[in-house]
């Protein structure tokens, strides 16, 4: 009788934990997943991580045992080095300054300030109120006094309220004409977009079924009423896993999901 009671007690405890889990809403419509991470508790569950070797989003999802996993920063697929800053547990885990490939290209060297200052998403802890706050700001933006970055991932460009293509060196123009484009920002491809609305965190996984260029994404998040929005890596890197319910990858290539460098996980 005691054994039976203990079994039911354990079930009740585990169910109670499930009931208090942070809220994640996922809506799918016309090739776009719209994810909303609600409440204060979930801010403590979000972490940006990177892998020593390139792995798929599904592999990262399984290794971290996360509820939600999606692709984050940019990287060099040939060297496996990051092109984006990543902060994990208050420490910088990826620094593009250690990516020698960036400095081997003379054009990139001349524009390194723009590349290193691309937009990033931060979770910041401020000691005056003891709370965690979301931020979408240029990488070199100072953290307010009394605050510290818990975790962050750089991507870019900023999409809303302004689209910063040239300022973040995703587009180069000469005499008003585009002469260089990075990361297919002007083409219709799959996208991973992260943004803020009324203090809540929103994510769009724009699949191959409804590809967009960043001008279209700008208008889309404007209609959704977002306050700020930025891009993470996209195209064939676009990927998302949620529990065992959703396994989303770009269908470009072999359809198994591209191996990537960094991830946003919700534990």
Close Cβ partners of 156 (under 8 Å, ≥ 6 residues apart): 74, 118, 119, 120, 164, 168, 170, 230, 231
pLDDT band at 213 (very low <50, low <70, confident <90, very high): very high
Q: Which residue has the tokens 């902060």?
A: 87
Q: Where are the domains of the chain?
A: 23-266
How far lies 245's CA from each of 16, 55, 109, 188, 205, in Å?
21, 20, 43, 27, 15
Task: State the DSSP code for 38.
Answer: E
Q: What rounded mean pLDDT belongs to the chain?
A: 91
φ, ψ for residue 114, nearest 5 deg: -70, -40
> Mapping DSSP to helix (H, G, I), strand (E, B) and coil, where does residue 262 land?
strand
Residues shown for the chain: 267
pLDDT of 257 reads 77
Instruction: Please compute the mean of the pLDDT values over residues 45-60 and round it to a whole number.
Output: 97
Q: What are residue 62's phi and psi, to 5 degrees?
A: -75, -40
Q: Confidence band (pLDDT; 50, 70, 90) for 180?
A: very high
Global pTM value: 0.91
User: Which residues, 6+ apart, have CB-to-CB distance to 90 below 8 Å?
Assistant: 148, 149, 150, 151
Give residue-wise pLDDT tens across range 137-163: 999 999 999 999 999 999 999 999 999
For residues 78-87, average pLDDT: 96
The pLDDT of residue 251 is: 78
Residue 254: pLDDT above 80? Answer: no
Assess whether pLDDT exceeds 80 at residue 82.
yes
Count of H helices and E strands in the chain?
6, 18
Mean pLDDT of 208-233: 98
pLDDT exceeds 90 at position 119: yes
pLDDT at res. 93: 98
- pLDDT for residue 6 is more than 60: no
Q: What is the pLDDT of residues 14-40, one digit of tens each?
A: 444 444 667 899 999 999 999 999 999
């Amino acid at each position: 009788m005691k054994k039976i009671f203990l079994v039911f007690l354990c079930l009740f405890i585990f169910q109670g934990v499930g009931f208090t889990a942070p809220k994640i809403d996922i809506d799918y419509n016309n090739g776009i997943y719209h994810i909303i991470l609600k409440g204060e508790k979930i801010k403590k569950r979000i972490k940006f991580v990177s892998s020593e070797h390139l792995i798929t989003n599904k592999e990262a999802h399984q290794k971290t045992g996360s509820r939600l996993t999606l692709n984050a920063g940019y990287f060099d697929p040939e060297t496996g080095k990051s092109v984006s800053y990543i902060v994990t547990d208050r420490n910088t885990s990826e620094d593009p300054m250690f990516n020698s490939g960036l400095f081997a290209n003379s054009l990139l060297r001349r524009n390194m300030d723009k590349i290193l200052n691309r937009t990033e998403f931060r979770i910041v802890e401020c000691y005056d109120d003891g709370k965690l706050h979301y931020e979408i700001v240029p990488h070199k933006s100072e953290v307010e006094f009394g605050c510290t970055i818990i975790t962050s991932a750089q991507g870019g460009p900023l999409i809303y309220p302004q689209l910063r293509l040239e300022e973040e060196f995703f587009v180069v123009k000469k005499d008003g004409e585009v002469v260089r484009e990075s990361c297919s920002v002007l083409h219709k491809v799959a996208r991973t977009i992260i943004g803020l609305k009324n203090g809540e965190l929103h994510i769009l996984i724009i699949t191959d079924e409804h590809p967009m260029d960043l001008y279209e994404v700008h208008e889309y998040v404007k209609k959704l009423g977002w306050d700020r929005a930025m891009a993470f890596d996209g195209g064939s890197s676009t990927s998302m896993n949620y529990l065992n319910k959703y396994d989303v990858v770009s269908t470009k290539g072999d359809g198994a999901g591209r191996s990537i460098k960094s991830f946003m996980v919700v534990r």
